[in-house]
Amino acid sequence: MYKHERFYSCPTQVFWCCKALLEGRTISHKTEIREVRGWRLGAIIHRLKASYGWTILTEYRGPDNVAHYRLSPDCDRAKLRFPPSARSLGEGLL
């Protein structure tokens, strides 16, 4: 039987996503596949927005409307809340 956490995004993917957004990068599903072999970027972004209050902008590009995500420029990084696997990223922001 699967462990409960196996149904969610890998902690490494969540950390990567948070770090990439904090670095000012615009990321897409293709970027996630290439860099961390992930496949749950949409779910991670949704959780960051809904559960942690991140202001993430979404832009749909190309004929297939591929979502590209970036952190809003007016986001107060010092007030960001982090998922457990990415909490260490917030320590240097205060």
Q: Does domain 9-84 have CATH number 1.10.3470?
A: no
Dig out the tokens for 58 from the structure.
């979404």
Mean residue pLDDT across the chain: 87
Share of the chain above pLDDT 70, in %: 85
The reported pLDDT for the residue numbered 9 is: 53
Q: Distance between CA atoms of 22 and 77, rounded to whole angstroms?
A: 8
48 CB neighbour count, 10 Å cutoff: 24
pLDDT at 39: 86
pLDDT in tens, 23-67: 999 999 999 999 988 888 999 999 999 999 999 999 999 999 999
Confidence at 1, pLDDT banded by 50, 70, 90: very low
**pTM, full prediction:** 0.84
37 contacts: CB under 8 Å, gap ≥ 6 = none
DSSP string, 24-50: T--EEHHHHHHHH----HHHHHHHHHH
4 pLDDT more than 70: no
Contact in structure between 32 and 19 (CB atoms under 8 Å): no
pLDDT at 90: 86
The one-letter amino acid at 54 = W
The full set of domain ranges for the chain reads 9-84
